[in-house]
Each structure stands twice: as structure tokens, then as C-alpha cells.
Structure 1
Amino acid sequence: MFKHGAKVTQILHLWNNIVTTELSIIIVNYRVYPYLDTCLQAVSTALSTLKAEIIVVDNDTDEAKQTILATSFPLVQWICLNQNIGFARANNLALKKAGGKYVLFLNPDTSIQPNVLKEAIQYLTSNSKVGAIGVQMIDGKGRFLPESKRDQPGLLGAIFKLTGLAALFPHTAFFNSYALGHLDQHQIHTIPVLAGAFMMMPTALAKKIGGFDESFFMYGEDIDLSLRILQQGFENHYLGNLTITHYKGASSKQDPAYLAHFYGSMIIFVEKYHHLYGGLMGVWCLKMGIRFTAWMAYFKKKIQ
């Protein structure tokens, strides 16, 4: 009788956790344990008033370093892998386990302010038409990261970005349309594309659309997910009143093939969304531009 009662209590406890969990935070780590440590510290502070779970997918696990962090953060659920399966696939692996009402895809090389998670959840709860939200991101030196808010990639915007004209005229709607340079970074805006470094949405929606497209190993998958959310009839909102720090590129620097992943993802995206680029000729021109830019990047890296 006692054993039966204990079993019922355990089941009720597990059910209560599932029902009341407000947020599932998914973090994909790849060889950036010091950044992950800082990230988890900030997240733990921000979760002091929230019922949440944290799931870390550790690509190509360093067992010794992972054990240290697991000891420091005993409530974190770990999925330890012996290889790097990529950002999209790793996130989807954790999404299957997520039990929160909302899910946050968060990069390990980020640090969030204590108010960000609570206010982000409140915003989503109050705006049923919103499918996903992102926030203002700054780098380690306090500089605004323009990928915080983006338009869907079009042919002209892509050309201006590849040629450097967007960087020369960062606050114009014409030359820097891709990064929506004309929109105030501190305000709230309805935008097409959010950054995967911080993307929060209802878990049910994320699972309905199948999470990230695993064709993208790394890069481009956040743009694709943003557009598929729009296709479901929802809006993506940029919350410029909430800020996080993103130490951009920490994981990429650990992967010698990151340039191949980056430009390869651009090609995959162009082929998948060819209708955005004016037909076969536009797609061909853009793919040639991407390959030329990739070649220049490889050459620059070799001579450094």
C-alpha cells in the first residue's frame, strides 16, 4: 500500500511539473564551456521567479568539462553527444523533450539580464498573434548587432550585403534593408526574421512546424524558421526594449569548417526560397556572388 501511494505521489509530482512549466530553455553547446558557464549563471538568476527547465545539448562532449558544469548546475538536463551533429539537429533533439508552455532557443555565448525572460513571456502571453520574439543583442563591447532584426532576404538586399554597401549605409532602408537599418533598435517592431541566438515562441508552435530545418548544419536555420512561422499566419516581433549580450561567433571559432557551413547554408537557403530572388537568373547570379565571396573569405583566411 505504501509503495503504491509513493508511486501515485511521484506521478502527480511529474505531472505537476509538466503542467506548470512556463519555459523550456534549449542551449546547444559546442566547445565553449566558459561561455556556457556564464550563460547558465545568468539564466539561473533570471529564472528565480519562473517555473522553467534548462536543456543543454552538448555537441562533441568534453566529459571532464561537462562534469564540472553538471555539478555546478544540477537542475540542468544534459544531452551529451560524442560528435557535432549541428545546430539545427541538436536543437530539435532537445525540442522533443521540452515540456514548457514556451520554448527559448538560446546560444551558449550569451548573457541575459534578469528581467528579460519574465518580460518576454509576458509579451508573448499578451499577444496571441505573435509566433516568436527576439530581443536587442549587443556584443561584448556594447555595440548593437544588426542581425537582431532582419528582413527576409531579397535579391537587392543580398547584393548590397555581399558588396559591403549595407555596411557603408547602415541606417538606410534602401541599402541596408536586410538588417532593417531604418528601424530604431530600441523600439518594438514587427519584423520578418529573428536571430537564433535568442528566439522564444510557444512550444506547441515550434513542434507543429517541426523545429529547425536540419538541412542547415549551422547558419540560415533561424531565417528559415522565422519565415515558416510567418507562413503559419503569425507575426515575429523584435523587442528592442529588452537587451542581451551575445559574444558572437564563439562556437564558430571552434569549428575549422565554419566558413563552409556559412556559405553552404546561404546556398541551401537561396535554393529553398528561390521565389524571393526573381527566378532562375536571380538565383544563379546570387549563387555566383556567394561562391565568389566564399572564395575571397577562404583566400583572406589563408594569408592571415
Structure 2
Amino acid sequence: MESNDENPLISIIILNYNAGKLLEECVDSIYHSNYKNYEIIIVDNNSTDSSHIECKEKFPLIDLIENKKNYGYCEGNNIGIRKSKGKFVIILNPDTIVDPNWMNELLLGHQKFGDGIYQPKFLTIDNESIIQSTGNMIQLFGFGYSRNKGDKDEQQFNNMETVNYASGTCLFTSKKIFEKLEFFDSFLFAYHDDLDLCWRASMQGIQSYYVPTSIVFHPSEGFSFKWSNFKFFLLERNRLYCLFTHYSRSTILKLFPSLILVDFAVSFFYLKNGLFYEKIKASFSIIKNLGTIQSRYNKIQKTRTVNDKEIIFNFKNEVILPKGTNIKNKIPFNSILRVLSKLSRMAI
């Protein structure tokens, strides 16, 4: 397998942690791809099942990396990226099934728009007419969500376009972009990792794109963490981390009154859903890691070429939660976000 201009080598990184038979099904679907110049690197995060061993036995050509501990999504994928030989890299979750033409279409997207970060259209595995994502969006106060999740796919979202960030469920870019961005931020461990990566990319003028002709199938609920307390802790901690490392100090000062009110709203939101302890843990984790945050802030701000006002222009005022999400007080929370976002935009 070698890279050339017409058929560049693509390195597919699959991070595994107790994925069971899902891993084999994912790899099997890759082997049915129409594009053939690729390598598969499975990075196992110290699984307690034998999924990675069984997959290697069934598909001996894959490259298996066995970590001695669970490094999380970010560093686990970084290990695979550093090992990769391809001109391009795809980060792919093990609970996905890929359409045979998925890689060809991602490459065509790159040929059209050049350096950037790309994601396919995600459809639901057990109901292919239901959308999982047509690109991900960032709310002004750092919340991320999957666009059009739960909508019926009637080919109404078939335009290739820029989005706020590409989903880490399946993310395509060049290895040189990963190297330029210095990979995923390992502090995050998991969640908001894709938001963080693409937000940092946009600060350097690197856009994220949705490629509707590339199709990947994904369960309505991923196998990892699901909607656990730990997931809510990571989502809130990492949201705050991204705010304080990505926005300039000037922007943070202008947003500060709204951020305080949003924090009260988030605390109430977490309390009503039995997650207040996770909110407290997230806030204390930010305080505990202020030194890390300051160091990260300095590093990110030194490389930026695009100002906050230009980036914020494309951010959203509310969070569109997936249809059927069992979360209380969605409407009042979004009403607060909308009002505060509009006021904040006037100040920036």
C-alpha cells in the first residue's frame, strides 16, 4: 500500500474498547469498500473482552495496537494517527457500518474544497431512513449537537457545505492537518474532542465540511458510555475547558455575565435531571486545572489567524437535542440560551 496522487493511501483508525462483535462487523464493511488503497489500524484501549484479538484473527492484515491502559478517545486515537502511514486519516468508531462508496466520496469532497475536516452523512443502522447527523453545530456558549438528528432522510440535506465541526464518529482529514493541529487534546479524554479539534482548526482558517454523498451507518445510541453520569461530567467539563482555551480573554470578559447566568441554568438543568454532582465535579475539575488551561490557552492563541467575531458568526443560539431525548426542561433552557446569545452577540 503506497500513496500516489490518484489513489492516496488512507489510514483508517478504529479505537476499540469492549466493542464485541461490532468491531468485526465494522471492519468487514470496510473490506467491502470500493476504494482499495487503505490500511486499517485498530487501537485497543485495554479491552476486557477479546474483540480485538478475534478481529485480528479474522482479518490478519489489520495493524493491531494493544494499549496497556485505557487512554480515552483522544490519546487512543492519537496513538493510531502517529502510527499511520497514509496521506489521509479517517477516525472511525467501531459501532459503524460503512457504505461501499464512503471513502471515494470523502476524497471527492477533499478534491473540491481542499484542506479541511470532513464528515459523511450518518444514518441509523436499524432504520436507514432516520438521520443521525448532517454535520455538527456549536452553540455560542460551547454546547455541541448533531444537526438534524432524528429527522427523516428525504434527500433534503444533500448539499455539501461547511459545518461548525465534523463528528468524531467518522472524521476524515489529511495527516498533515492532524500534525498541524497537534492531534486531539488528550486532556479531554472523551467527548467534545471533535468540537475542540474543529474549533481549533477554524481558528487557523481550516473549515469543516459535511459530505452527504458519503454514507456511514451508526446506532441511534452509541455503545460507549451511552448517556451515563460520567458522560455528562465530561461534556460539561470539556465544554468549559473549550470556552476558556478557545475564546480570547476579551471575548470571555464580554461573555462573562451571560456565562454566569448560563452556569446557573446548567446547574438547574443538571439538578432537575439528577446530575448535579456531575456539574459540581466538572466545575471543580476546571478550577483544579487552571494551570493546564492557561498553558493551553497561550498555545492555542499563538497559532490563531481568525478572530472570535468571525468564528462566532456561524455559531448557533440554541441547542437542538435529538428527537426523543429524555431530558427535562428542554424548552426553558433553550429560551434562556437564545436570549443570552442574542445579547452577547451585541456585545462582541
Report the TM-score range of the alignment, normalised by the length of the smaller protein: 0.7 to 0.9
Of 20, 33, 36, which aligns to 2:20? 33
Is 1:295 the equivalent of 2:271? Answer: yes
* Corresponding position of 2:136: 150
Of 240, 257, 260, which aligns to 1:281? 257
Q: Closer, same or farther in 2 for the Cα pair 1:186/1:211, shift >3 Å?
A: same
* Corresponding position of 2:50: 64
CA distance in 2, matches of 1:289, 1:252: 24
CA distance in 1, matches of 2:8, 2:229: 38
Show CA shifts across 1:27-67 (max 9, x none): 11121122111111111111x54211111111122363322
Of 51, 67, 81, which aligns to 1:81? 67
8 Å Cα contact 2:117/2:172 also seen in 1: yes
CA distance in 2, matches of 1:208, 1:280: 31
CA distance in 2, matches of 1:216, 1:227: 14
CA distance in 2, matches of 1:66, 1:225: 27
* Corresponding position of 1:12: none
8 Å Cα contact 1:21/1:99 also seen in 2: no
Is 1:212 the equivalent of 2:184? Answer: yes
The SS at the match of 1:286 is helix
Question: Where do 1:135-214 residues align within 5 Å?
Answer: 135-140=120-125, 141-142=127-128, 143-146=130-133, 148-155=134-141, 184-214=156-186
CA distance in 2, matches of 1:233, 1:273: 14
Question: Mean alpha-carbon deviation: is it higher for 23-32 or for 251-260?
Answer: 251-260
8 Å Cα contact 2:13/2:90 also seen in 1: yes
Question: Where do 1:222-237 residues align within 5 Å?
Answer: 222-237=194-209
Unaligned runs of 5+ in 2: 277-348
The SS at the match of 1:96 is helix
Give, in angstroms, the shift of residue 117 of structure 1.
0.7
* Corresponding position of 2:344: none
Give 2:123's aligned amino acid.
Answer: I
* Corresponding position of 2:280: none
Question: Where do 1:107-126 residues align within 5 Å?
Answer: 107-126=93-112
Give, in angstroms, the shift of residue 153 of structure 1.
2.4
Higher relative contact order (CA 8 A, sep 6+): 1
Give, in angstroms, the shift of residue 18 of structure 1.
6.5
8 Å Cα contact 1:270/1:283 also seen in 2: no
Give, in angstroms, the shift of residue 119 of structure 1.
1.9
Question: Where do 1:121-136 residues align within 5 Å?
Answer: 121-128=107-114, 130-136=115-121
Give, in angstroms, the shift of residue 238 of structure 1.
0.6
The SS at the match of 1:151 is strand
Give, in angstroms, the shift of residue 99 of structure 1.
1.0
CA distance in 2, matches of 1:151, 1:42: 28
Question: Where do 1:250-269 residues align within 5 Å?
Answer: 250-253=223-226, 257-269=230-242
Q: Closer, same or farther in 2 for the Cα pair 1:295/1:76, shift >3 Å?
A: farther
8 Å Cα contact 1:61/1:82 also seen in 2: no
Unaligned runs of 5+ in 1: 1-15, 172-178
Show CA shifts across 1:254-283 (max 9, x none): 977333223322232233334577422222
Show CA shifts across 1:123-182 (max 9, x none): 213432x41111111223232124x32333214x959x8xxxx99xx79xxxxxxx9xxx
Q: CA RMSD for the aligned pairs?
A: 3.1
Count, aligned residues: 264
Give, in angstroms, the shift of residue 224 of structure 1.
1.1
Give 2:71's aligned amino acid.
Answer: I
* Corresponding position of 1:241: 213
Identity %: 21
Show CA shifts across 1:240-261 (max 9, x none): 2222111232112497733322
Give 2:117's aligned amino acid.
Answer: A
Give, in angstroms, the shift of residue 92 of structure 1.
0.8
Give, in angstroms, the shift of residue 115 of structure 1.
0.3
8 Å Cα contact 2:138/2:195 also seen in 1: yes
Give, in angstroms, the shift of residue 218 of structure 1.
1.0
State the TM-score, normalized to the length of structure 2: 0.67
Give 1:124's aligned amino acid.
Answer: H
Give 1:136's aligned amino acid.
Answer: K
Give, in angstroms, the shift of residue 214 of structure 1.
1.4
